[in-house]
Amino acid sequence: MLGDEAFKLVKEAKNITDSHIPVYNDEQVRLVTQETRYLWTRIEEMIASLSSANTLPDSQSTDMFGTQPLDQFSSSTTKGSSSAPISTAHMDRENINGQTSLYILTVARNKRCLLAYHHRRTQFLRSLLWNLHLAPSLVPPEMSAHVSPEEQNFAREYARLNASYRDAVEEQLCPTDSLDWTANGEIPPRDLFIEVRVTKDCGEIVTENGVVNLQAGTQHYLRRSDIEHLLTIGYLEHIHPT
């Protein structure tokens, strides 16, 4: 069935956890790519046949679809009927249009599934690298065996670009100090404010917006810089948006 191979890839991507990544499924990726190329070839062929039929007279275009001219079906209609007879050529055009649309939607879906599969795997690699202080050489051998050569190259290049950016920042802002932005083992945050749940009583803390009472079980929307230390020691839990 169309799209089944791509669906298998998405299921594999869903099975990726924070500590486990399945072996790169090169065969499944090849099957999805092969199906997508075949469908695109069929799309081009069907569009070309429709374009050719539209440039021919009605009598020739009906023969092209293996049907008969419209006037040969006029006797089959009821006398006095207001509805015009429909030629099988028109029906064939509608069928081809529908099939073309189905193939186009399947191609687009296959592409999204391929992108989702590879994006989820690169997310895992990025998170792993930050846990290992951006050192690809520290990736466990059993985990390295689960990634493709292209993914290994991505990991090395990602670490190199981060190191290059860090050196440029150090040179401009703090030439006498060394920045360690992998200290907490997490990808740098993008959000200034985050939603957190209090797991242990913290009492009152002073933030830029005033005093906040952090009682166990309560949830708050706070500036990350104000409560970063509490997140690190486990007193607060970051609630990730779903």
CB-hemisphere CA count at 13 Å for 49? 20
Q: How many angstroms from the chain centroid is the CA of residue 31?
A: 18
pLDDT above 70 covers a percentage of the chain that reads 76
CB 205 within 8 A of CB 227: yes
Round to whole Å and give the CA distance between 46 and 43.
5
CB 58 within 8 A of CB 93: no
Q: Phi, psi (5° rounding) for residue 30? A: -65, -40
What's the pLDDT tens digit per position in 53-65? 666 555 444 444 4
DSSP secondary structure letter of residue 76: G
Lowest mean pLDDT among 73-77, 211-215, 216-220: 73-77
DSSP per position, 12-70: HHHT--SS--PPP-HHHHHHHHHHHHHHHHHHHHHHHHHHHHHTS-HHHHHHHTT---G
What's the pLDDT tens digit per position in 97-111? 889 999 999 999 999
Choose between 31 and 86: higher pLDDT. 31
- Tokens 């059993």 found at: 142
**Which of 1, 9, 47 is closest to 28 using CA atoms?**
9
Beta bridge partners of 222: 194
**pTM strictly above 0.75:** no
What's the pLDDT tens digit per position in 181-196? 666 556 666 667 888 9
Q: What is the pLDDT of residue 131?
A: 87
For the chain, give the number of residues.
242
Per-residue pLDDT, averaged over 66-94, amounts to 46
What's the pLDDT tens digit per position in 168-183? 887 777 767 666 666 6
